[in-house]
Structures are given as C-alpha cells and as structure tokens.
C-alpha cells in the first residue's frame, strides 16, 4: 500500500519563488538585449553611411562633383541603403560640387538612441552626440 501522507509536487510558495526569480532575471536581461539591438541597428546605419560616402567618391572621380550638387543626381541613384535600415534610420545628403555631408537620423524604434543623428562628410569626419561611444 502507498502511504497517502507523502505527496509529490510543488507547493504554491515554491512556484511563486520560481516565478519571482524568472521575473527578476528577465528584468535584468531585457534592457541589455534592447541596448544590443540598438547598437546593431546603429552599426548597420554606419555601414550604410560609409557605403554612401564611397559612392560619393566614385561619382566625384567620374564627374568632378559630388552627387547632390545637381537635380539629376539623388541619393538613391548612387547607392541604396539596406532596406531594413529604412525603418530605423532616415538617410539624407547635403552636397555641393566639392563637399558633402551624409546624415542618418534615427526614426521609429531607434528614435530613442542616445547617439542621435550620425553624420559623415567628405573628409571622413564623423559626428554624433558622443563620438567615442557612437562611432
């Protein structure tokens, strides 16, 4: 015969402690995960800015002017940024015949990025809210 006084299973307190521990671990891990995702999106935007700068230099070697200095040359004519970045960054160009400044402005889920706008110019000068962290 089986002794009915020995019950197997978890008590409510044991389950509540387990749920509390899992909640604490999730609360610690979630901000770190979100920060990693934001850094990854920022790295993609920086990569696109460098691709745009390279395209600008190629255009300059052919036409002796940077793209954007006339109406026939637009950003998308010289380089197409990664379409996935379009949801997180808006790319723009400000160019004259001899200079350009490329800007990646965070939008959507990336709008809270503390780095703010990332810029890159023809001299490869990189600017953001915190260059040491962001670039």
Q: 37-88, pLDDT tens digit by residue?
A: 999 999 999 999 999 999 899 888 988 888 775 556 666 667 777 777 678 9
- Domain interval for residue 59: 41-134
Q: Is residue 96 part of a domain?
A: yes
Average pLDDT over residues 129-133: 87
- The tally of domains found in the chain comes to 1
Q: Does 26 map to a domain?
A: no
Residue 31 falls inside a structural domain: no
* Structural domain contains residue 24: no
Q: Which of 63, 66, 82 is nearest to 74 (CA)?
A: 66
Residue 25 located in a structural domain:
no
Nearest-CA neighbor of 120 among 66, 74, 53?
53
Q: What integer best gives the mean pLDDT of the chain? A: 86
* Inside any domain, residue 122: yes
Q: Would 4 be classed as within a structural domain? A: no
- Is residue 91 within 8 A of residue 44, CB to CB? The reply is no
Which of 4-18, 54-68, 72-86, 119-133 ranks highest by mean pLDDT?
119-133
């Amino acid at each position: 015969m089986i002794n009915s006084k020995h019950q197997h299973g978890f008590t409510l307190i044991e389950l509540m402690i387990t749920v509390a521990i899992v909640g604490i671990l999730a609360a610690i891990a979630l901000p770190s995960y979100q920060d990693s995702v934001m850094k990854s999106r920022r790295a993609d935007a920086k990569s696109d800015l460098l691709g745009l700068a390279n395209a600008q230099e190629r255009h300059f070697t052919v036409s002796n002017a940077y793209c954007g200095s006339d109406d026939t040359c637009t950003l998308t004519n010289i380089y197409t940024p990664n379409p996935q970045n379009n949801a997180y960054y808006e790319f723009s160009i400000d160019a004259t015949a001899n200079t350009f400044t490329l800007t990646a402005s965070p939008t959507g889920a990336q709008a809270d990025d503390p780095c703010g706008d990332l810029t890159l110019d023809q001299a490869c000068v990189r600017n953001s809210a915190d260059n040491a962290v962001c670039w």
